[in-house]
Amino acid sequence: MSVSPEAFGPRTPFGRVPRPRFGVADLPLAMAYVYVAVIAGAVFILEPALLDGSGAMGANFSLVVPLALVAFGQTLAMLTRGIDLSVGGVISLSSALLATHLNARGWLLLPELLAIVALGVLIGCLNGLMIAFTPIQPFIVTLATWSIWDGVAFGVLPIEGGTVSPTLVKAASGGFLRVPKSVWVVVLLLLLWRWLRATRFIGDLVAIGSDESRARLLGVRIGRRKLQAYAATGLLAALASIWVTAQTQAGSPDGGDQFILNSVAAVVIGGTSIFGGKGSAASSIMGSIAFLLIPILVFALNLSSFWSIFLEGLVLIVAVTFNSIIQTRARR
């Protein structure tokens, strides 16, 4: 006994009804903008002075810069289904070096800054080599290297302090063409992503995170791409450290540690999938802004600053739970 084909409904050439372009799975990437709008709105209502005026903006964006840099790099790692916890070590070590040995003045500072960036790239490459060519998971590799480089940082600069090059401090402050330099940096990062996202580099990273074994069949150079991704993360972390050290005018042997949670939170709030294959550094930058609004909100609510630490952890947990549920369902 058989049933005629017509009983099964209309057949498009490929037998399936087209689905809408924007589904639940795309929600996380849009949420960052919602978060920023909501939190900024709340802050503005409670204490407009915190966000109003160029002084406030400059100060706020100054904090966004390092986090945006690290979150950018963290996005690349997460696209491949990885994570980089060693950014904490990179930032601490770079900061320690900038406050001790690499604090020349004037033009002599330039090669030293390049050395810092090269160090970040080198550390990233070491991570990338281990992640790409051994079966050890990224979180273990970078957990270990975080400890190692934090340790070296402690050896270089046991206590917070040191002297930072005044040239550096001056270079990272103030404005350019009447716009705060910090805003320029963030805009540049956004443009960089716009340019990058159509490259084969990002395309390969997405392929690797989406389905690594199939990406291998396609001929993607998995080792090379992972190496590049983690090298980029190291580079961006080093840049973040240069900025932070210039702002605080002091070195810190464990100042990088906070950036680990912060960058992961920024990326998660931004909507990049922690399981790889989907994401955007621009959203992570928005996520950084949203994340940094939390302490401002706390201040506006007249709560003690300790509430920031609590809320930051809470926001990460809520955001990642929300995203995990959606993204696990989408991957099925």
Partner 1 sequence: MSDRSLVISGLRKSFGGVEALRGADLACHAGETHALIGENGAGKSTLVKVLSGAVRADGGEISLNGKTLRVDSPMQARAAGIATVFQELSLIPDLTVASNLFYGIEPKVRAGRVDRRALRRAAALALEGLGIGGIDVARNVRELSLGERQILEVCKALIREPSLLILDEPTSALLPEEVQWLFGKVREFAEAGGIALFISHRLEEIEILSDRVTVLRGGVDVGSGPIAEMAEARLVELMLGRPVERVFPAAAAGPGSDEVVCEITNLASPPRLRGVTMAIHRGEIVGVGGLQGQGQLALFLSLFGVIRSTGRVAVRGREVRLRHPRAALDAGIALVPEDRATEGLCMTLSVRDNISLGSLSDISTAGLVSQTKERSAIALAASKLRIIMQNLRQEVGALSGGNQQKVILGRVLAQHPALLLMYDATRGVDVGTKAEIYRLMREQCEAGTAILFYSTDVQELVNLADRVFVLHDGQIRAHLEGEEITESRIVAESVGGGVRKQVR
Partner 2 sequence: MIEAGADTLRRNSSIVLAFVLAGVLFVAGTIQTTGFASYEHTRTVLITASFVGLVGFGQTLCMLTGGIDLSIPSNLAGAAVLTAFLANGSSAGLIWIVPMVIGLGMVVGLINGLGVAYAGVPPIIMTLGMNSAIQGLLLIYTNGGLASAAPPALVNFVDGNTLGLSTMLLIWIGVALVATVLLSLSAFGRKLYAVGTNIRAALLAGVRVKRVLVVPYVVSGASAALTGVLLLGFLGQAFVNMGDEYLFSSAVAVAVGGASILGGKGHYIGTVAGAIILTLIAANLNLLSLGESAIDISYGVILLATVYLATIRLGRR
**Residues forming the site for partner 2 (CB under 8 A):** 83, 85, 130, 134-137, 139-141, 143-148, 150-152, 154-155, 158, 260-261, 264-265, 268, 274, 304, 306-314, 316-317, 320-321, 324-325, 328
In the complex, the smallest distance separating the C-beta of residue 92 from partner 2, rounded to whole angstroms, is 10
Q: How far is the CB of 230 from partner 2 (least distance, A)?
A: 15
Element holding 63 (H helix, E strand): helix 53-79
Q: Name the residue type at position 299.
A: F
Partner whose footprint covers residue 302, from partner 2, partner 1, none (CB < 5 to 8 Å by kind): none
Choose the contact partner of 145 out of partner 1, partner 2, none; CB within 5 to 8 A by kind: partner 2
With tokens 């690797």, the residue in question is 208
Report residue 119 as tokens: 């160090």
For the segment 258-287, give every residue that binds partner 1 (CB under 8 A). Answer: 277-278
Which does residue 22 touch among partner 1, partner 2, none (CB within 5 to 8 A, set by kind)? none
Residue 328 partner contact from partner 2, partner 1, none using kind-dependent CB cut-offs of 5 to 8 Å: partner 2
Residues 6+ apart with CB under 8 A from 123: 86, 89, 90, 93, 145, 149, 234
Which residue, 19 or 178, has its beta carbon nearer to partner 1? 19
In sequence order, the 6+-apart residues with CB closer than 8 A to the CB of 206 are 79, 276, 277, 278, 279
Residue 1, exposed/middle/buried by CB under 10 A (0-12, 13-18, 19+)? Answer: exposed
Query: Shortest gap between Cβ of 202 and partner 1 (angstroms)?
Result: 10
Binding-site string for partner 1 from residue 188 to residue 227, where x marks contact by CB under 8 A and - marks none: -------x--xxxx-x--xx-xxx--xxxxxx-x------
Q: Which residues contact 327 (CB under 8 A, 6 or more apart)?
A: 25, 28, 273, 274, 275, 278
Contacts of 154 (CB under 8 A, 6+ apart): 96, 253, 254
Q: Taking CB within 5 to 8 Å according to partner kind, which of partner 2, partner 1, none is near residue 1?
A: partner 1
Tell me which of 18, 24, 159, 178 binds partner 1, using CB under 8 A: 18
In angstroms, the Cα distances linking 241 to 4, 45, 254, 316 are 69, 33, 12, 23
Residue 207, CA distances (Å) to 21, 202, 214, 218 in order: 20, 9, 8, 9
Considering CB distances under 5 to 8 angstroms, the limit depending on partner class, which of partner 1, partner 2, none binds residue 304? Answer: partner 2
Which residues in this chain contact partner 1 in the complex, by CB under 8 A?
A: 1-5, 8, 12-16, 18-19, 21, 195, 198-201, 203, 206-207, 209-211, 214-219, 221, 277-278, 330
